[in-house]
Structure 1
Amino acid sequence: MRVLLSLCFIASASVSNFAQATTAKQTSHAEMDKKKAVILAKQTIDGKTLKITEKTDFYTVRILKSDGHVVDLHINKKTGEVKKD
């Protein structure tokens, strides 16, 4: 009886972990919005956000750095990859 209960517990824990992993993959593949793009850009370069431009495949986030330089970052909508212009 104890063995059967242990097997049921292990099986339910495995199913739960699989469901969490599937949900995490689905949310990571969701298309990015402007707020997430700004967050990613600010994690890459600290500064004040000046402008956000939306294109078909990416967002362009213009950031004013503390030293006065302006930097444009391109954030891919599907992958979240950040590229410096």
Structure 2
Amino acid sequence: MRVLLSLIFIACVSFASNSQASATPTKKVNQPVDKKKAVILAKQSIGGKTLKITEKPEFYTVRILKSDGHVVDLHINKKTGEVKKD
């Protein structure tokens, strides 16, 4: 009898925690990206050293010097933080 009650209790607790987790929105709220965050996103994406940051109306262009000597321009969307190679 105790085992049965324990299993029912565990099932109820598990169900309650799963329903709360599913009630939490999974869509990430995007915050505007500033220059500092743009550099962080660019470095996370490709690594290397930042050479230059240029601001356009819709995106930042971050110029990165990679460890192999190549220079890469990355465009970081100001609204979404999406990183694209030039």
Amino acid at match of 1:33: D
* 2:79 match: 78
* 1:39 match: 40
Q: Write the distance in 1 (CA, Å) between the matches of 2:31 and 2:71.
A: 29
- Total equivalences in the alignment: 68
Gaps of 5+ in 1: 1-9
Which is richer in helix? Answer: 1
Deviations 1:24-59 (A, max 9, x none): 95xx33211001100100011110000000000000
Identity %: 77
**TM-score between both structures, scaled by the size of structure 1:** 0.67
Gaps of 5+ in 2: 1-15
Question: Which protein shows a greater Rg?
Answer: 2
Deviation above 3 Å: which 4+ runs of structure 1?
A: none
**What value does the CA root-mean-square deviation take over the aligned residues?**
2.1
